[in-house]
Structures are given as C-alpha cells and as structure tokens.
Structure 1
Amino acid sequence: MTPLFCEDLIISASSPVRALDKLAANGITAYSARRIAPGKLKIRVKCKETAKIFAIFRGSCYTVTKAGPARLAKLRARALRRPGILAGLAAFVVAAYCVNIPVLRIDVTGSARYEEEAYAVLAESGVRTFALCGEEEREAARRALLALPGVVFASVEKAGCVVTAVIEESEETPLPERERELLSPRAGKVEELAVLRGTALVSEGDAVGAGQTLVAGYFLTEEGERRETFAVARASILCTFSAEYFSAERSDAAAADAVAAAHLAAGGELVSSEVSVRAEGDGYIYGAAVTVRLRISVNLD
C-alpha cells in the first residue's frame, strides 16, 4: 500500500536501477519507479525516509535530487495555499473509501520475463478482472511479485477500473541456476567419492550406469526430515572401452597406435590398456581395451 505522504526523488547515474538494490538492502521501499530519461530514474518513497536516502547515496556515484511532494503531500501543499479546496479534498477521501470499482483491465509492465507469471500472482492475491480489490489485495500481490528472483521493485496500483503492476529486475547478471545432483556420465565403477553437500546414493567400489545419480540434492535432518538442497561433490569413475583397428603391419608401433586411438575415443585419464592382435586378410586386426578415469564434479567451480 502506498503511503499517503510520499516524496518523489530523481536518481541519476549510468545505471540508476541498481540503486533500487541498495535501497532494498537498507530496508527502504520504493513505491514507484520509472525511467524518465537515459541515466535517470524517478522513484517515490516515504517522506520521512528522504533524509536517510540522501545519507545512503552521499559520496557515491548516484546523484539524488528532489522532484517534489507526491500524492497527499502535494495536495497538502496546495491546500495550504488554497484553503477552499479542503472541503473538496474531504469529499474525495470519503468517495475513495466508500466506492470500490470492479477491475476491468490489468496491465503488467517492466518485465517481459515475468509477465505471464505476474498475472498468475495477481490472480492468486485476489487481483483479477471483474472483481473488487482493495489495498490489502494489492499489497499482498506487491509482496509476492517482489519475492520473485531478481526483482528489486514491484508496485500494484489501481486507477479507476484499471490495475497496473510494475516490475523492475536487477541489472546485475543473474547467477546460473545450480545443478541439483551429481550424475555419472558413463557406466563404470566408482573409484573415489567426496560429498560436501547432499546425500551420497552410492559408495566407492560400486558399479554404476550411465546417467545414474551418485549424489542427490537433499539431506536428512536428525529427526529424519528430508530437506531439499543442491549437491556439492566430486567423484572419479573408472570406465572401460574396447575397439578394433586394422593395420597393414604387425609391430609395437601399430599396437601403440591402437591404444592411442582407443584412449582418444574413451576420453579421460588412461589407467591401463591391453592389446590383442590377429591376422586377417592382407593385414592385422588390433583389439585395444582401455580403462580410463573420468573426474566429475558438481557446484565446485
């Protein structure tokens, strides 16, 4: 809910939207935010927090200037100059609280990524078309929108029969989503396993299949309750690979070439190799069997 007495401020910087992150970190809520020019952001905050905002940005790369009073603060300033409008102001307040017009249209602006999800959040909070919605529903929707990942500002305002939701995302590059499990890339045997977070589903020496989960993204509390998390672990898997190669001659060099070709196809670190040879036609068939070590990890970069 937007307070009755607000102040409009203009923040100037090369990337002014990042100032919203700083305000949120200091517990200050911006009730509206709008880009008015390149490098300029107009925000609306509580009048009593204006001095704190100037103190936060003092000496930083952000320039803050006052744009003037907003909402009832502006009406109050005008009323002091024209006492005759007080009666009209009182009538307006009574009408605003006594009449609640149903919502006929909902607009979402500021974030294409969250547009579809924003409509769902608004509906869950009671802000939907052809329904009455008051300050309580709009405030619940605003808080839910602000909880979306990367969102630094959200407002839900109603003007007549139109509700407008504004969402601003942080300009910081979001961190990539963490992988939740450690999976075996190939079939083989677990040689080594170290788990820093998560639950190991296999042990060293176990045979595993391709794509099998080695470490799951959860842990159990002392009471046996399952808690979801992401795995942090590393492992080494011993895998075998065999193939046949043709050579016109029988020699140690040809055998070494067969092992090298098998190692290249298998990947990983070469642990051991075996070579067999048989005559066939005008040459020889080399059978190369190699064991390689694959080192894998999750969320350890």
Structure 2
Amino acid sequence: MIRIKLLSLLTGYVSLMVQGESLEKFVNMAAGRGIFLWDIVRLNNHAIQAKVRISEVRPLRHIAKTTGSRFKIVERRGLPFFSHRLRQRKLLAIGAVVFLVTLYLLSSFVWFIDVTGTDKLSPQQIKGIASQAGLRPGMAKWNLDVKAVEKEIRDQLPSVAWAGITVEGTRVTIEIAERKLVTEDVNKGPAHIIAGKAGLIKEVLVLKGQAMVKEGDTVLPGQVLISGETQEEIKPEPSTQPLPEGQEPPEPKYISHFVQAKGIVRARVWYEGYGECLLRETMEEFSGQEKTSVRIKFGSKEIIISGPKSSPYQHDETKQLVKRLPQWRNIQFPVELSTVRYREKIIHRLNHGSAGAKKIAEQRAMEELRAKLPEGAKITQQRLEEINTGRLEELVRIKVFVETVEDIGQTKPFKVNEEDMY
C-alpha cells in the first residue's frame, strides 16, 4: 500500500469526485480491471471522492460511461505536476535553485561564534585565543580543528579547567568551565549573632558570647541575640585598711573581651501563603500532534515545498523560522526559506465547583508558602482561612497560616575600637 502511494507520488496522481447512482458498481468495476483507488471518502449518497494514478484516469472514463457516472478532477499531485508548475515559473525555479545552492554553500562556513560558561574570563579574550588557533568567522568548517582550538585555550588560560567546542550549522559554541578557587573563611574576628527574621524566642543556647535575649522575648530582624562582647570585672587588690567613714567603695571596673559569638537561638516564626482558583477554568495543553510546512519565497511569490498551506488544527501554536541569504555589498537578495511549525492545542474547560476550587486554592497557597520556608523548619501549627470579599464572584481565595520553630541566628562580624576595650 505504501509502496503504491510512493510510486503514485513519483508518477503523479489526481483526486477525483465521482457522481452517479451506481457508485459501488463504479468502484467494483475499477477494482476488477486492476485500477487501484485509495482514500475513498463518501461525500453524500450520490458522490464519492477518491485518488487514482494519472495513467489510470483514461480507463476510468469507459467505466464511468458504462455505470452512468461522471467524474471530475479536483486536485493534482505528484512530481509531474510540480515540474510543470516550475516550468511555467522559470525565474522562480531558477531563484529557488540558486537560493538552495547558496544556502548550502553558506552553511559550510562558520559565521557566528558564541562563548558560554565564563565567569571571570572575558568572552572576547576566549575568542581572541580561538582566533589565534584558526577559529574565526568566515572560515570553512572542514578546516576547523576542534581539538587544536580546545588545547590552545587550555594552554594559554590556566584558569580554564575544561573547554569544549560544538558546531551546529553556521554557529560554533565554545563552552568554558573555569577552575573554582576554594577560599577558606578567614574571618576569625569578633562577631555577633543577630536575628535573621522576626519571631518569638523559644530557646537560647550560648556556646560562646553573651546572651542578649531570653525565652519569651519578641525580636526583630537585625537585633543582637548573642553578643560577641563579654565583660570581665577587674577586682582591685584587697586592702587591709578599712574605708574612712562616709566614703563609698570605688565603682567596679570592667575589661571587655571580644569573641566570635556561637550558639543556637530557636524562635517561633509565622508565615502565610495565598492561593486562588476560579470555579470555571479554561486550560490549554499540547496534544503531541504537529505539522511542519517548508516554503520558499521569491519576492512576493511563495512555493510550498512540503506540508500544509495553513494550520490543520482548530487550536494551535504557530512558530515560524525564516532564513535569508546574507546581505552582500548593501544588496539584499529577495529569497528566503521559511519553516512553519503548527503544534495542536487541546482546550479543556473545567468546572471545579465550590469544593474543588477550594481544594485547588489550598494547594496553591501551600505551594507559595513552602517556597518561603527555610530548610529544616519544623511546622508546629497550621490554619486555613477563606477570604470572603462580600461580593458574588466566580473565585475562591484561601490564605494559609503556619507557625514554625527554627534557628533564626545569623553571624555578623563587627570591628573593635581601642576605646571600647575598657
């Protein structure tokens, strides 16, 4: 079956509309005489449409006369008809051939060079070294030595751990992986532990430093929780002489010690998330079906090489990719090759109802809330609240409130002034 259709495409075939009272007899007589009809579609009680090879149209005239039927050609397809159309449009055919040949020749050269993966290095620096190794715009792809260019980049730039080159059409992409220098945290100076967010203190565990808050305190972001400054009292040498009558003992003196505060401060923190859902929604998704149309345009005329003329789907997403000949000395050739891609969309109209919309709104509110929660946060309480605006509307709104217990401490270094020592 497929072989016959391919052969018919080469030799040419036509689509016929046959009308008459004895359509079954017409089809049976054609089959009996070895005439192959395919894609037979009944249009109504007195008409069918079928495809047949061009060489078998003449014998069908005798069958139509015998059965009292009549037919007419509604479509012509195949190589002979395509060649005939090209002969009628010689200039367009020549332009198409010139375009394809030029496009093939131009696609054999490198026109674009991209650099990806750089952080500290400059893309221009990478392109300069690649140019020294022979990779430059306008070079023929068959002269490109990928391994040599990769080796040259690695040899001249010790900070490059890996270099890879990929060639896609006329574009060359140089992918770079730089060496990551691991820097040790050398901050050994004094530091406070401050609140990273607002909360209600639940537990304070001090490993080093001085606690500035206690259980039950409410703190704000940036407030010092554990201070890196501790004070030690300077005790005077004991005196054997009693203080004169009416003289107050001297005020105690303190010396400050500065450390890098360490500890754990757990607090109760509150978050909220919001979600909404319509009672009735229209959703779109791709069915997986798609068609591609390839066309050549010369001036204002366009020839479809393959694929449909327009979208065969009721709902679709259309994307078009156009390739033109490059401009030469301010001359723009009016020839272009375009590829049109049609992707079928399926439209779903959903009626969630009040209960279904509420459940979806809750899920969306929880998704938004989880994005705010830090890793390791322990949820202790959760509460849902439906927002009622007092108006009749096709929308359900939900807020989710949760309470967590988490470590809110963050290390913040500080500088010490000499006058602060005493």
In the superposition, the TM-score normalised over structure 1's length comes to: 0.26
Q: Which has the larger radius of gyration?
A: 2
In the superposition, the TM-score normalised over structure 2's length comes to: 0.19
